[in-house]
Structure 1
Amino acid sequence: MSSDPWGRVDETGTVYVRTADGEQVVGSWAAGSPEEALAYFERKYEGLVVEIGLLEKRVQTTDLSAKDAQTAIDHLREQVDAHHAVGDLDALRGRLDKLVETVEARREERKQQRAKQSDQARKAKEDLVTEAEQLAQSDQWRAAGERLRALVDTWKGLPRLDRKSDDELWHRFSHARSAFSKRRKAHFAQLDAQREEARRTKERLVAEAEALSDSTDWGPTAARYRELMTQWKAAGRAQREHEDDLWNRFRGAQDVFFAARGSVFAERDAEQAENLKLKEELAEEAEKLLPIGDLKSARAAFRSINERWEAIGHVPRDARPKVEGRMHAVERAMQEAEEAEWRRTNPEARARAEGLTGQLQAAVDKLRAQIDQARAQGNNAKADKLERELEGRQALLDQALKGLQEFGG
């Protein structure tokens, strides 16, 4: 009979293993010595040790599922419980029990982790839904559309929730996207309609602009072009493929008109500059008539100058006041000379002037006589008063005499 600390072989060749519950039969051995039998079943034990060690390592270091780990544990436990090995089978059972605890702890940990991940996924999807519903009201069509597409990609990367929760959130998310797409489609349909209306309006403006391009009615046509430009700006933009072509035609028609007007105005400006030179020479000639001596010859000369003046065309607007002012000054001097001549030769005015002068002369003579009388009587106060009155009457007489001289008398 042979034995070791964990097993023995009896005289019949039966192999036993020692456990906490007593000896258990391992098997029979008839092929060789008892030592060989024990060695064989000890190797079986070592094999179980190795398998349990590998399973422990897999549980600790890999993502082996709890279900697969439990299946492997059950399989090894069956082998241990079958008592087909010689060794410390109780120690192996203890290791398997501890492994079960580890797997259960891992199962709970993963359950909590999944619950946490589910909560995080729910929160993430709720946040996506909230943002999508906000974006559904946005008018930033390009940016909001790109962001919604990015949210879809983010959604696809998140784990699924329970079917009811996931379906409810997806329904809200999808509804928000559909609402945005509907609004965007309506917006661009309206925009297309507006651009089509703008195109038709600008076609009409272009047609009128091109019809006006050969007009020589410079002022009204230029004003009409300004009105057309105002209407062009108010019409809005047409479709991109039409806008540039319409603008080039519209602007081209204006350019033709304004180039023609500019050429005519340049010729007119040159002509008006020459007219100004001629009128300045006539103004200088008129100014040489001053001061007026012989009114008759001066009047004839001014009439000749004025006839030549009228025959000359327009001058530049900014120069007109100055050159015309010079002629008006000579004309006023001529009028004043004519008025003076009229007064000098008017019989009624002369008679009135002579009468007034006579009256004043008589009053002065009377005052002088009164002064002499007052002095003779020694009444100097009265004489002084009369002399002050005499000074006033003498001044009036002097003025009247000067006016009478204008009549040649």
Structure 2
Amino acid sequence: MTEHETTPGTTGDSGAGAVVEETRVEATPVAAAAATAAAPPVPVASDHPDRWGRVDADGTVYVKTADGERVVGSWQAGEPAEGLAHFARRFDDIRTEVELLVTRLSSGAGDPKHAMTSAKHVKESLADAAVVGDLAALAARVDYVLVKAEEGLEAAKAAKDEARAAAGARKQELVEEAEVLANESTQWKSAGDRLRQILDEWKTIRGVDRKTDEQLWRRFSKARDAFNRRRGSHFADLDRQRTVAKNRKQELVEEAEKLIESDDWGPTAGRYKDLMVEWKAAGRAPKEADDALWQRFRAAQDAFFAKRSEAFSERDAEFSTNAKLKEELLAEAERIDPSLDLESARQQLYKIQERWDAIGKVPRERVRELEGKLRTIEERVRGAVDAQWRKSDPEAEARVAQFRERVEQFEAQAAKARTAGDKRRAEQAEAQAKQWREWLAAAEQAVSSR
């Protein structure tokens, strides 16, 4: 192969190199497919230029064609062989340009449209090209380029149509997704983010015909507007609901703050629980207002329960002191000896009972214990009285009257306590009346049996 064959782009006298330089374009997959077709042989001229032309005695240069010889120039500078070689190199320059087009189409690096333009230019120039070589073979090679370029153009058009269809289909998918979001989604943040992503992707999609693109854009824009209106309406309703919630929570806070000073511990604690239920049912207020109102509500609750806790602590301390005082009374009552002086024993027990009642309440868990110990002592004294009655009772009638008076006294105390609403004292008086009533029954039995 000659130097011109191994160095594509070498310029010759025909200026073909300029055309070669312009064929560097982006590859298309269609052009690559054309390389698989059978191609005519590559024409060569520089090896044996005398096969394709001659120089006559006066220096005129001829090239052989299918229609006969054609004058291509004149050679006066040297030997005829040098003249043929000169015009053969010009042929090889054109051939090199054509082969470069073939190579680029075959590799996919060439633009079919540019290749066709270049090939047509070469074909038109062959009729009067000042070259010596196998013009028929070169013309066939040029026709091959034209066929492959045409195939490439058709394939490129098909690919463009396919890309346009794919782009349109993708925009159609995006529009449909946007319409679903606009009409159905209540995930306002994620749906809004997705619509922005759709818009970003939309801007990257090219190739859709203008009419279709405008129609799809109108649908997408309409979907975005519908979503924004629906979202705006939702948050407007939410704002109204939060305003109502704020007003309701303001009322709850004000009531909670008024209850702080209450010392009606049970009912007030129950009301605070009810307020908490109503607070939760009121819904969310605007965040800043909601947080501020909650702080006030909790502060009111904490203040009341701290006050109640302090009062309960004081009460528990008082009840514990009362329990110790009653323990001391029990120790004193344990020393009562009915066998020495029954009347004195009754009087001592009566005074202890009065002091017992005056002491007041003890811790709940100790009531049964302490009351039980006192009942044991009372029963011991009562048993001694019963025993005394059974032995001798010269003053039985007087005792009956005395016991009856005591019963009436305690019954009157019970009635008075109930009228005053003092349930505890009423129950204590009734218990003592019951005890004296039993003693009265025993005394009356003793009198009737004499």
Q: TM-score range by the shorter chain?
A: 0.7 to 0.9
Name whichever of 282-291 and 7-16 sits farther off: 282-291
Name whichever of 269-278 and 227-236 sits farther off: 227-236
After superposition, the C-alpha distances for 1:125-177 in whole angstroms (9 at most, x for unaligned) are: 33323332332211122222222222222222223322333333333333332
Matched with 2:195 is 148
1:208 matched to 2:255: yes
Contact 2:120 2:146 in 1 (8 A): no
Matched with 1:105 is 151
Name whichever of 330-339 and 200-209 sits farther off: 330-339
Contact 2:256 2:301 in 1 (8 A): yes
Which residue identity lines up with residue 4 of structure 1 in the other structure? D
Q: List 4+ stretches of structure 1 deviating above 6 A.
A: 287-295
Which residue identity lines up with residue 134 of structure 1 in the other structure? V
1:270 matched to 2:372: no
Provide TM-score, normalisation by structure 1: 0.74
Contact 2:75 2:83 in 1 (8 A): yes
1:339 matched to 2:430: no
After superposition, the C-alpha distances for 1:313-369 in whole angstroms (9 at most, x for unaligned) are: 2222333344335445666784344422221212xxx4xxxxxxxxxxxxxxxxxxx
After superposition, the C-alpha distances for 1:55-107 in whole angstroms (9 at most, x for unaligned) are: 22332335543322211111111222223211111111111111112212222
Task: State the SS of the aligned residue for 1:18.
Answer: strand
Bigger relative contact order, structure 1 or 2 (CA pairs below 8 A, ≥6 apart): 2
1:223 matched to 2:223: no
CA distance in 1, matches of 2:201, 2:122: 44
Which residue identity lines up with residue 23 of structure 1 in the other structure? E
CA distance in 2, matches of 1:278, 1:214: 32
Name whichever of 290-299 and 38-47 sits farther off: 290-299
CA distance in 1, matches of 2:376, 2:169: 95
Q: Which one of the candidate residues 49, 66, 69 is aligned to 1:20?
A: 66
Deviation at 1:309, TM superposition (A): 1.4
Which residue identity lines up with residue 129 of structure 1 in the other structure? V
Name whichever of 100-109 and 208-217 sits farther off: 208-217
Deviation at 1:15, TM superposition (A): 2.2
Superposed counterparts of 1:83-162, under 5 Å: 83-136=129-182, 137-162=184-209
Name whichever of 135-144 and 278-287 sits farther off: 278-287
CA distance in 1, matches of 2:225, 2:115: 47
Task: State the SS of the aligned residue for 1:69.
Answer: helix
Deviation at 1:257, TM superposition (A): 2.5
CA distance in 2, matches of 1:111, 1:290: 128
How many residues are treated as equivalent by the alignment? 346
CA distance in 2, matches of 1:139, 1:294: 93
Which residue identity lines up with residue 145 of structure 1 in the other structure? G
CA distance in 2, matches of 1:325, 1:239: 61
Name whichever of 206-215 and 244-253 sits farther off: 206-215
Which residue identity lines up with residue 340 of structure 1 in the other structure? A
Provide TM-score, normalisation by structure 2: 0.68
Which residue identity lines up with residue 88 of structure 1 in the other structure? D
Task: State the SS of the aligned residue for 2:361.
Answer: coil
Unaligned residue ranges in structure 1 (runs of 5+): 351-406
Task: State the SS of the aligned residue for 2:69.
Answer: strand
CA distance in 2, matches of 1:21, 1:287: 157
Superposed counterparts of 1:346-365, under 5 Å: 346=448, 350=449
Determine which structure has more spread, i.e. the larger CA radius of gyration: 1
Superposed counterparts of 1:233-382, under 5 Å: 233-283=280-330, 296-327=343-374, 334=382, 335=435, 336-346=438-448, 350=449
Matched with 1:68 is 114
The percentage of aligned residue pairs carrying the same residue is 49
Deviation at 1:36, TM superposition (A): 4.2
1:197 matched to 2:244: yes
Name whichever of 252-261 and 72-81 sits farther off: 252-261
CA distance in 2, matches of 1:12, 1:300: 176
Q: 1:169 to 1:319 in 2, by over 3 A?
A: farther
Q: 1:145 to 1:287 in 2, by over 3 A?
A: farther
Q: Which one of the candidate residues 209, 212, 218 is aligned to 1:165?
A: 212
Contact 2:163 2:207 in 1 (8 A): no
Q: 1:331 to 1:140 in 2, by over 3 A?
A: farther
1:80 matched to 2:182: no
Deviation at 1:233, TM superposition (A): 1.8
Contact 1:292 1:337 in 2 (8 A): no
Task: State the SS of the aligned residue for 2:83.
Answer: helix
After superposition, the C-alpha distances for 1:269-308 in whole angstroms (9 at most, x for unaligned) are: 1001111222344356557769999765554333212211
Which residue identity lines up with residue 64 of structure 2 in the other structure? R
